[in-house]
Amino acid sequence: MNELGFSILLKTYEHLKLCFFALFLAMTIAIPLGIYLARTPFRRIALWIIRFIAILQTIPGIALIALMIVLFVFLRPWIYLPTTGFFPGVLILTLYALLPIVSNTYEGIQQVDESALQVAQGMGMTSRQILFIVELPLVLPLIMTGIRISLVWTISCATLTSLIGAGGLGDLVMQGLRSMQLPLILAGTLPAAFLAILLDWITLKTGKWLEYGG
């Protein structure tokens, strides 16, 4: 294997690691948050939180990276947070991945048929049992759609995190732009596009499998 081929494999691994860490963190935050917002009686506050997350989604990637670095520098007298490398890259990607998962979880829980909830309550189920036995199985395909959208966005945005030394296929793109070498640019963009298409297909099939009960 030549040097370029090895670099592509290494950077693809770094890219996937960034994306999956960010997606896992986003799911850990967004799914419980979406459930809480759907069940809270404070509907106006829930909508404001979703709108705030949506505003984060509209910030251009480079601007969000700059804001994150400024925030970390501001917090440095109280807590040290690295401004370059894997950690800030994952946090930035996590922010971008939140909205589809939060909104789909929220909308899914909101749309659960009221009669199904009444039947569950009539059977003596607790609120937690209703959530895990009735609501989540019904909305799981919709949550998977949100995860699918977030994953594709994350793979696309991860190329920008090379600007702060997070690694990934963006490194090859940046090297190609600096040296004006088309092979390096293609070595970064084509694998990223392939990953987005492949993982989108896998999550789509998984969502359909869950929807039709395996």
Per-residue pLDDT tens digits for 162-171: 888 888 898 9
Confidence band of 130 (pLDDT split at 50, 70, 90): confident
Select the more confidently predicted residue: 34 or 7. Answer: 34
Q: What is the pLDDT at residue 203? A: 87
Q: What is the pLDDT at residue 212? A: 67
Domains with residue ranges and CATH for the chain: 3-211 (1.10.3720.10)
Average pLDDT, the chain: 88
User: d(Cα 159, Cα 89) in Å, to the nearest integer?
Assistant: 10
Alpha helices of the chain — where are they, by DSSP H? 3-39, 43-58, 61-75, 86-110, 114-122, 127-129, 136-157, 170-179, 182-211
**Does the pTM of the predicted model rise above 0.75?**
yes
Q: Pull the structure tokens for residue 64.
A: 């969000």
Q: What is the pLDDT at residue 97? A: 93
Q: Pull the structure tokens for residue 135.
A: 């609501």
For every residue of 151-203, DSSP letters joined together read HHHHHHHGGGGGGGT--STHHHHHHHHHHT-HHHHHHHHHHHHHHHHHHHHHH
- The three-class DSSP label of residue 30 is helix
Q: Is the pLDDT of residue 1 over 60?
A: no
Confidence band of 98 (pLDDT split at 50, 70, 90): very high
Q: Pull the structure tokens for residue 181.
A: 């070498």
Q: Is the pLDDT of residue 214 over 70?
A: no
Q: Pull the structure tokens for residue 63.
A: 């601007």
What mean pLDDT do residues 119-148 have? Answer: 86
Quote the percentage of the chain above a pLDDT of 90.
Answer: 36
Residue in the structure block whose two tokens are 């601007």: 63
Confidence band of 11 (pLDDT split at 50, 70, 90): very high
Q: What is the pLDDT at residue 213? A: 59
162: Cβ contacts below 8 Å, ≥ 6 apart: 168, 169, 170, 171, 173, 174
Q: Is the pLDDT of residue 68 over 80?
A: yes
Q: Is there a contact between 23 and 151 (Cβ–Cβ < 8 Å)? A: yes
Per-residue pLDDT tens digits for 171-209: 999 988 888 888 888 888 999 999 999 999 988 888 778
Q: What is the pLDDT at residue 184? A: 87
DSSP 134: I
126: Cβ contacts below 8 Å, ≥ 6 apart: none
